[in-house]
Amino acid sequence: MLDKLLSGRRVLVVEDEMLVLIMIEDMLADLGCQSVTAAATVDKALALINTQVFDVALLDANLNGNDSHPVAEALSARGVPFVYSTGNTSQNIRDSCSDRPVLKKPFKYEELAAILAGLKLAPIER
């Protein structure tokens, strides 16, 4: 049933590497995701979070050398569950978000599906 894990869900992907973003979008589509919105910078992600509603987010911990912590705080403040995705194993995830799941890049479809299945996503009310 993993293929419909994200059926009807709106996902924010904060990622600065275009090829990684395309890979993630393909995986999310395979999971039945209704809408994927992408941001490559902290400012763009914050603007999207302030104007749209998301069910879940994937957040690169490092965006072109910038810490994505402001995005994590904005998602937390709105109660949006999120998963960090990072290629840097020593990436400093701040203590306030250290309880968030982390996907190590490059990750496989099964890893993404398993970590998203473990999130407590709110029922869709539209």
What is the CATH superfamily name and number for domain 2-117? Answer: Response regulator (3.40.50.2300)
Residue 6 has pLDDT above 60, yes or no: yes
b/e burial code for range 26-40 (CB count within 10 A of at least 16 → b): ebbeebebeebbbbb
Residue 96 has pLDDT above 60, yes or no: no
Q: What is the pLDDT of residues 80-92, one digit of tens each?
A: 999 999 887 555 5
Q: What pTM was computed for the model?
A: 0.90
- Quickly tell me which residue has 């919105």 as its tokens: 37
Amino acid symbol at 29: A
Q: What is the pLDDT of residues 38-54, one digit of tens each?
A: 999 999 999 999 999 99
